[in-house]
Amino acid sequence: MHAPKPETTAAAIMDAAAELKFAPSGIFEGYAAVFGNVDSANDRIAPGAFASSLGDLRAEGRLPPMLWQHDVQKPIGQWLDMHEDSHGLYVRGKLFTDDIAQAREAYALLRENVVSGLSIGYRTVKSVRDAQNGVRLLTELDLLEVSIVTFPANERARIRAVKSQFAAGHVPAEKDVEAVLRDAGFSRKQAKALMAHGYKALAPRDAVEGEEAETDETAALLSGLALCIRRLT
């Protein structure tokens, strides 16, 4: 067995899941990076990877710039809070919708889920690569910027977006709820069965009275969905 080797690389980009929640006046929150999962570049971020960089930035009284699509000539807002929690790198920011046309466009696209991602620009300070599976564990990163992007590579977690949809009284897209069920522990088969037999009843349509659950399995899955929704809301 070969021990993992330390690595250092130049600046890079990593995308995060669509986990955005909105408030009035161009303010939104979400996760710019998620811990634990392997991205399309075969990298995984370790908890604590941002601690040193964020500490240095706070000592300077600033946070990384908020950019549009990693374009250094298009800052569109300001990050108000940025810290690590058990899930990843939490961010809360404000788009300058009153003063910058691109910020207004970005906010409209985010609200309608046309643009749905956050992405970090960073420089690797410390990392190790597993010799067996080739996955690189990023243990210390120099955070350069956080961008709003059109195509996030990491589509894993959508819980925050689904939660805000339920809270607003809307029915989220089926694919988003299915992703939540998968994250909650349902198998792919169970999640699809639940969506096919149970979730459609939540959509606005004429109900058929007297219908019963087709199988005990469907009833159990519906109970699981109810539990998931209670946890979300």
Active site residues: 70, 119, 145
- In whole angstroms, give the CA distance from residue 103 to residue 111: 12
Structure tokens belonging to residue 6: 């330390």
Dihedral class, residue 122 (left if φ above 0, else alpha if ψ from -120 to 50, else beta): beta
- In whole angstroms, give the CA distance from residue 61 to residue 64: 11
* 63 and 79 Cβ atoms separated by less than 8 Å: yes
At 78, the amino acid letter reads: Q
Closest residue by Cα to residue 181 from 191, 195, 171: 191
